[in-house]
Amino acid sequence: MPTDILPLTRPEQSDSLIRCGAVCFVGAGPGDAGLLTLNALRAIEAAEVILHDRLVSDEVLALASPDATLIPVGKEGFGPSMPQDEINRLIVLYAYAGLRVVRLKGGDPAIFGRLDEEIAALELEGIAWSVVPGITAASAAVAAVGQSLTSRGRNASLRILTGHVMEGFAEQDWRALARSGEVAAIYMGKKAARFIQGRLMMHGADPATPVTLVANASRADQQVLASTLGTLAQDLAASDLTGPALTLYGIAPRAAAPALSDIRKQEVS
């Protein structure tokens, strides 16, 4: 598939409404192409330009038209990343060229996907946009271990956190999260595991609280690490967990998880 960035020039504002294409923000889900929505599939197949995150799987990208231009604009936690302003600029410029643009985001665009910033850039230029939601990593992770994010008698609320953006992370209500029965889905939390462990135990969390990490949820190379808050950092250090992982605080794998995993592997093969 072509990956060259097209040469673009911005038209005069007077004819922008005639020349602008439509931009669709599409959730690519956690990786398994079978988890795409029908609307996401249609948008990907019809796109002339796809600007995609690093975590969008090759399986999903393969669904694009052979004539589509694929442009990686991904960010890597604590690693090299394309600046957000440059991503915004590319989205606007391809839309100005009159092309059908898909901004393809891993998981769901509205969860830690900087959706608001990219929509604001389009609205500033008067460019039309739409959003196709996707299955987020937290949903795929609990499905992998046969659990629920909420359960009657255990938790009626769910905290969704990111361990990647540390600004404001330390100011979370750790005391409330440390209470028995609380559940959190922590995105990109591997590098912050020791910090999370310390904060929660400092505020009274039981060291025996279950913690499950699911790496590459829904993909063929999915890995599951069952741990506890008290042993989280050392278990993670001793594991061979690779790739992006979601941390499920307060949730342990259900006994049926191996059977679910076997079914998923059979479907892949």
Indicate which residues carry an active-site annotation.
Answer: 53, 75
Contacts of 12 (CB under 8 A, 6+ apart): none
- Tell which residue, 227, 133, 132, has the closest CA to residue 186: 227
Contacts of 62 (CB under 8 A, 6+ apart): 33
- Tell which residue, 75, 89, 81, 83, has the closest CA to residue 121: 89
DSSP three-state, residue 163? coil
Question: What are the structure tokens assigned to 207, written together?
Answer: 């060291």
DSSP three-state, residue 62? coil
CB of 140 within 8 A of CB of 247?
no
CB count, 10 Å around CB of 15? 10
